[in-house]
Structure 1
Amino acid sequence: MIIRKTPAEIEAMKEAGRLSAKALREVGRIIEPGISTLELDRHAEKIIRAEGGIPAFKGYGGFPGTICSSVNDQIVHGIPSKDVILHEGDIISIDTGAIVDGWVGDNAWTYPVGRIKPEVQKLLDVTEECMWRAISAARPGNRLGDVGHACQEHAEAHGYGVVREYVGHGVGRDMHEDPNVPNYGHRHMGLRLEEGMVIAIEPMICMGTRKTRAGNDGWLVLTRDGKPAAHFEKTVAITEGGPILLTVEPEYRRPVMKKN
C-alpha cells in the first residue's frame, strides 16, 4: 500500500532528512586513509543522537550498524568493522538515515579515499548524474519507468551495469514502504507517480557487469566480477511543483546538471 503524505507531513519529514544529510556529510568529511569503517559508524551515531534522532538502520532487521559502509566492489549493506581499514585509492559508499518524530530520512553517497583513479572517479560522477536525472523524472503524471529509464539510459551509455536485485523504495514512518523504485525501466511504463508520494531514489551502478553476489554475513552485496560499484541516494517528495529533496541541509544547493 502506497502511503501518500500531506504537505504538512512532507514538511515534518524535512527534519529527519536534514539530520540524515548532516550525518552523511559529517561522515564523508572524516574519511581518509587509515580510518576504520567502525570509526565512521560511531561518528554517524554520535551526530544523530546528539540532535535527538534515532539511527534508522541500527537494529533494522537485525542490522548492527548506524551506517552501511561498502568499499570498492561492495555495492550495499556493508557492516562497519574495526577490521575494515580504508586505504588510499579506495572508494566507500556510505548509506545512513535518521528517525525524527517518527519520520525517516534515508540517503547515501560514494566518497573517494584520498586520490582515486580517473576511471573510478568517472564511475562516481556518472552514478551521481544518474541520481539527478532520475530525480528530475520524479514528477506527478510520470511513471516509475520514466524514473528508472532516466537512470539506466545514462549509466548504460557509459558502459556501466545497473543493479537489478536492489532498488529504491517509498519512505515515511517506515524506512521501506511501497512502492519499489527500480533504477531501470521503460518510459511511460509502470506505476503512475502522484503528488504526496515520498520515495528514495538510489542508483547502484557497477563499472562492469550488473550481476551481483552475496557476502557471507547475510547482508553484504558485491559485484560478481570484482569491479567497483557506486551508490548515491536521496529521499524525494513528489509535489505539484516538482520533486523536493528531503535529505538535504538548509544551505544545500543542487548542482547544475551537464547537458550530455
Structure 2
Amino acid sequence: MQRNDPCWCGSGRKYKKCHMPIEERILLHADRGEIVPKRELLKTPFQIQKIKESAALNTAVLDEVAKHIRIGMSTAEIDRIVYDFTTSHGGIPAPLHYQGFPKSVCTSINNEVCHGIPDENIILEEGDIVNVDVSTSLNGYYSDASRMFTLGKISERAERIIRVTEECVHLGLAQAKPWGHLGDIADAINSHAQANGYSVVEEIGGHGIGLEFHEEPFVSYVTPKGSEMLLVPGMMFTIEPMINEGSPDFFVDEDNDWTVYTIDDGLSAQIEYMVLITQDGAEIISK
C-alpha cells in the first residue's frame, strides 16, 4: 500500500495519516522479537461500530437477567430469558450449538468455574453465587461479557472472592494500554489474586472477539509483565479471569463434557469485560 492511498481500514483517510504510523511501530516491535498482531486483528471503524451494536444488545441481555434472577428459579429460566430477549431484538445467542453446547447461556454456580449448562433441575438457592456468561451475535458480529450474581445473604468468603475478582478485572483493565502487552494485564490480575490468597485458572482464559465468537489472541492471566502479544489500537478481546479459592486446577464434568469444576470444591468467581484498545487506553464494550 502506498502512502497516499486510501487506508485499508475504510476510514476515508490516507494511509500515511491513518494506519501507516501504527503499522510502522508494530514492525519495530516485531524486529525486537515481540509477538505482534496481524492486520486482521485490528478492527476497522465500520467493524467497531457493528460490534458495538452487538455489544449493546449483549449488555442489555445481562441487564434483563439482573431484573429477574431470584432464589427459587431454575437456571433453565435464565436460559429462556437470554434466548427470548436476544432473539426478540434480532440477535442470536452465540453459545447455542457452538461446538455442541446445548443452551443459550452459561450459568456457573459456586464451585463451577465456567461453562455451566442451564437445567430445569438446577434451582438457585439462598447463598449461591452464580456467573451468567452472555454472548451475542447480531448481524454477524459478536460480543461477550459475564457478571456475578448473588442470591440472598451470601457468606463472607463468597462476598470476598467476588470483590477481589472485580478488583482483579479493574486492575487488569488499567494495564490495557496501547503499546503495552497482554502480559501486563495478566501480571496485574495474578499478582492481586495471589496477594489475597487466591489462584487464577491457567488453562482457560480470554480471547479476541468481534468478527468471530473466539479469535486470536488467547488471553492468559498468569503470564509475566511485558510478555505475550503487543497491544495495538483496534484490538478487541475479553478480560475474564477465573479466580479460585484454592487450587487453580479443575476437572470437566464427564456427563456433559462442558461444566468445569474446581478440583478441591472451593468457590470460583469470574467477571468478564469486553474491551477495545484505543489510542490512549481501553474502552469497555460490554460488561
Give the whole-Å Cα distance in 1 for the aligned partners of 2:66 and 2:242: 18
Residue of 210, 228, 241 corresponding to 1:190: 228
Residue of 258, 267, 278 corresponding to 1:239: 278
In structure 2, the partner of 1:9 is: 47
Moved over 2 A (4+): none
Match runs of 1:128-139 below 5 Å: 128-139=166-177
Give the whole-Å Cα distance in 2 for the aligned partners of 1:25 and 1:154: 28
In structure 2, the partner of 1:142 is: 180
Alpha-carbon displacement from aligned partner over 1:88-137 (angstroms, at most 9, x marks no partner): 00111110111112110100111111110112111001101111111221
In structure 1, the partner of 2:204 is: 166
The answer to whether the 8 Å contact 1:76/1:220 transfers is yes
Tell me by how many angstroms 1:8 deviates.
Answer: 2.8
Tell me by how many angstroms 1:172 deviates.
Answer: 1.5
Query: Counterpart of 2:286 in 1: which secondary structure?
Result: coil
Match runs of 1:1-260 below 5 Å: 3-216=41-254, 217-247=256-286
Q: What is the letter of the counterpart of residue 189 of structure 2?
A: C
Tell me by how many angstroms 1:241 deviates.
Answer: 2.5
Give the whole-Å Cα distance in 2 for the aligned partners of 1:14 and 1:168: 18
Alpha-carbon displacement from aligned partner over 1:202-257 (angstroms, at most 9, x marks no partner): 01001111111111210010100101100110110111031011115xxxxxxxxx
Question: How many residues are paired up?
Answer: 248
Query: What 5-or-longer segments of structure 1 have no aligned partner?
Result: 249-260
Give the whole-Å Cα distance in 1 for the aligned partners of 2:49 and 2:167: 26
Give the whole-Å Cα distance in 1 for the aligned partners of 2:94 and 2:140: 10
The answer to whether the 8 Å contact 1:238/1:244 transfers is yes
Tell me by how many angstroms 1:183 deviates.
Answer: 1.3
Higher relative contact order (Cα pairs below 8 Å, separated by 6+ residues): 1
Q: What is the letter of the counterpart of residue 31 of structure 1?
A: I
The answer to whether the 8 Å contact 1:16/1:247 transfers is no
RMSD (Å), alpha carbons: 1.1
In structure 1, the partner of 2:14 is: none
User: TM-score, normalised on structure 2?
Assistant: 0.84
The answer to whether the 8 Å contact 1:108/1:231 transfers is yes
Query: Counterpart of 1:185 in 2: which secondary structure?
Result: coil
